[in-house]
Chains A and B, each alone.
Chain A
Amino acid sequence: MQRVLVVEDSQTMREWIAAAIEELDRPLKLDLAASGFEALRLLPRQVYDLVVTDINMPDIHGLELISFIRSDPRYAATPLVIVSTESSEEDRRRGLALGANAYLVKPFSVPDLLSVVEDLLAGVKP
């Protein structure tokens, strides 16, 4: 079973992303983190096969979280998806430079999200 971590401080968005991913026809274990700090506590405990994270969060932001994930050898190849309302091209560039695999700009649709997630998960050995 593949494990997915969703990091998003907005509860509505978090539920929405989780619900959308659960619609995938795939056995998945989904963990939800409401802040960057919460993600930091979850990440070392188990290895996730995919991380979906927001950029704008109050404690540590998505770029810092991605840098953390990529500095852990276990997560060297784990697919990372940034979901953000960020319109700044600069932040998008930085996110991808830090090793994010995809950058989705809100608003996106369920199919938008699922096609990205599906592709990335398919590339990972279950």
Chain B
Amino acid sequence: MSNAASSWDVLARAAATREAAASETRALRELLVFSIDGAPYALPIERIREIVRPRALTPVPHVPSAVLGVISLRGEILQVLDTRRRLGLAAVASARASRVIVLNGEDGRVTGLLVDAVHEVLRVEESALLPPTNADGGLITGLAPRGAGFVSLISPEQLVELDASAA
């Protein structure tokens, strides 16, 4: 049995070392900055497939109000979320600079996110990230310094996590 117990330990140590090594290489984060209502937000660049201009939206019945509808993107049909509404802000008509950010889901499903405007790609040291100031449902996971201010880092998972019953 001592053999078995040490087997588990050895493996656990190996996993810890591997994780430490992985986080070392991930120390530099690349973020796509966009704005909503004049405030900057960011998503990890590795999760973004492409950025497209808004196109004809087809409304879908029986879905939460954060789902604006579906668009057709080269034959793929994607749901588009109102990022503004997900952040708890009032809805306004989309502006000329509006874009749809196409997000790759962890489960392979792709989602469109409507934002007011898309800005630059920001490179930030992991160590420079600050924790969020208050708990807002886990949607904002941290703050990254940008110029004199900060960019709010959004969790892609939380963003697309909708309560289906809230139609």
Contacts and interface: CB of A to CB of B under 8 A. Distances in A.
Nearest to A23: B10
A19 B10 contact: yes
B6 A109 contact: yes
Interface stretch (B11-19, B65-73, B83-91): B11-19
B78 to A, nearest CB: 34
A20 B10 contact: yes
B7 interface: yes
Contacts, number: 26
B25 interface: no
A12 to B, nearest CB: 7
B3 A16 contact: no
A12 B12 CA distance: 10
A107 B3 contact: yes
Interface residues on B, range: 10 to 19
Contacts of B15: 15
A109 B3 contact: yes
Interface in A1-55: 12, 15-16, 18-20, 22-23
Contacts of A124: none
Interface of A, secondary structure class, is helix
B11 A110 contact: no
B6 A18 contact: no
Nearest to B18: A15
Interface in B99-131: none
Interface in B1-46: 2-3, 6-7, 10-11, 13-15, 17-18
A19 B14 contact: yes
A108 to B, nearest CB: 8
Interface in A105-124: 107, 109-110
Nearest to A107: B3
A110 B17 CA distance: 18
Contact of A12 (B11, B17, B18): B11
A18 B10 CA distance: 9
Contact of B13 (A12, A19, A107, A109): A19
A18 B3 contact: no
Considering the complex of A and B, which 8 residue pairs feature the smallest CB-CB distances, nearest first?
A: A19-B14, A109-B3, A19-B10, A15-B14, A16-B11, A110-B6, A20-B10, A16-B10
Given A16-B14, A19-B13, A110-B10, 7 more contacts: A15-B11, A15-B15, A16-B7, A20-B10, A22-B14, A23-B10, A110-B7
17 contacts: A12-B11, A15-B11, A15-B14, A15-B15, A15-B18, A16-B11, A16-B14, A18-B14, A19-B10, A19-B14, A19-B17, A107-B3, A109-B2, A109-B3, A109-B6, A110-B3, A110-B6
